[in-house]
Chain A
Amino acid sequence: GDLGPFNPGLPVEVPVWLAINLKQRQKCRLIPPEWMDVGKLEEIRDQERKEDTFTPMPSPYYMELTKLLLNYASDNIPRADEIRTLVKDTWDTRMAKLRLSADSFVRQQEAHAKLDNLTLMEINTTGAFLTQALDHMYKLRTNLQPGESSHSQDF
């Protein structure tokens, strides 16, 4: 898409990669997203702890954005340290929840699940592990079916 026009002192929307680059060249000041705020993040964290399922996150890349903005533009973000702690808490809560639900998923030998509000970062961190474990489980379970033995050679 088109970007700009760029005028000094006026807010303009750009992709994160460009914002970081301009910031590093000291050509701009970053404005934190609306949700990156201590009050709102506390609310999100408490909501996350209360509910059994995953709650919707303020951004599909909340982890990535927090990390990039805090690493490169922490001087533009008010109370950066508190935000870092809050996001980390939310992440830990969600990962613990993910592990719990994966365990009950495996225990009940389910074959499918719906994970609407997980972000890509969360899926990717455990994804390979989970799919491989379920793959093994599937194979161990289909050993039961007698139809497969008909493939073996008859001497």
Chain B
Amino acid sequence: MSDSYFPVGPGLGMEENFLSLDDILMSQEKLPGRAESSLPRLAVLLGQGAGSAESVPEGSKLEIPLWLAKGLHDSKRRIISVELPKIYKEAWRTVFSADANVVDLHKMGPYYYGFGSQLLNFENPENPEIAQTDSVCFLQTFIARFRRIMDSSQNAYNEDTSALVARLDELERALFQVGQKGLNDFQCWEKGQASQITASTLVQNYGKRKLAEVDG
């Protein structure tokens, strides 16, 4: 069934893929920010007051989803300013460069790479080197964790993999699944299971439902 289903993958760049469910979930993540000008009649939505007429005062701290922050952010008209989340700051970057394998990216993320790449949109034009260090940091993190993902995905045959994937970011999980599929397909072929014809999962589920209806 999964052969005939082509989901839109995540964009993983400066721009998300419009129809990618992963990217839509990713852009829901909250981002710390600060209002640079007062925002009339929005206090209720942003959790700053009760009355619908109240405005968000200038300089107040906000937690806004990435998609909204992206829409409001503009280097010329200062509506909001965006701060880096904790895990993308210098202190965490040092941890990543020390040993990327010990970090639980699922707890930090779960869209560590995708979200981080989107954050490059907000960097001030004056300091491009921050974007550079960020990007280099993602790349280094990915490279450092690559070996572990590859080894564990291709050595673990017929094992419980939940412990292995628990600390992986969503992107790495997809990669892990691909590696597992390669290994499993090969092992199936070697044991001669690939030549056996089995009913597709779709048909199996369909049959079950029908039986249940007859019973009921």
Contact = CB atoms under 8 A, between A and B. Distances in A.
A126 B149 CA distance: 13
Contacts of A137: 139, 142-143
B81 interface: no
A7 interface: no
B181 A103 contact: no
B182 A125 contact: yes
A56 B183 CA distance: 23
A109 interface: yes
A152 B178 contact: no
B78 interface: no
B132 interface: yes
Given A140-B135, A141-B139, A129 B186 contact: no
A142 to B, nearest CB: 7
Most buried by A among B74, B153, B175: B175
A127 B12 contact: no
B151 interface: yes
Contact of B175 (A71, A102, A129, A140): A129
A3 interface: no
Interface string A92-110: 0001000100110011010
Contact of B183 (A109, A125, A143): A125
B64 interface: no
Given A99-B150, A128-B178, A136-B12, A152 B143 contact: no
B48 to A, nearest CB: 24
Nearest to B180: A129
Given A106-B146, A128-B182, A137-B139, A152 B175 contact: no
Interface string A61-97: 0000001000100000000000000000000000100
Interface residues of B, number: 39
Contacts of A148: 13-14
A125 B179 CA distance: 8
A136 B9 CA distance: 11
A126 B146 contact: no
A71 B192 contact: yes
A99 B183 CA distance: 13
B186 A107 contact: no
Given A102-B150, A103-B146, A143-B138, A132 B190 contact: no
Given A143-B135, A151-B14, A152-B15, A136 B175 contact: yes
Interface string B55-79: 0000000000000000000100100
A125 B186 CA distance: 6
Contacts of A142: 13
27 contacts: A67-B190, A99-B151, A121-B186, A126-B179, A126-B182, A127-B182, A128-B181, A129-B150, A133-B146, A133-B149, A133-B175, A136-B171, A136-B175, A137-B139, A137-B142, A139-B12, A139-B117, A140-B117, A140-B138, A140-B139, A140-B142, A143-B14, A143-B120, A146-B131, A148-B13, A151-B14, A152-B121
Interface of A: 67, 71, 95, 99, 102-103, 106-107, 109, 121, 124-129, 132-133, 136-137, 139-144, 146, 148-149, 151-152, 155
- Nearest 8 pairs of A and B residues by beta carbon: A129-B179, A143-B135, A139-B12, A125-B186, A140-B139, A103-B147, A144-B135, A129-B178
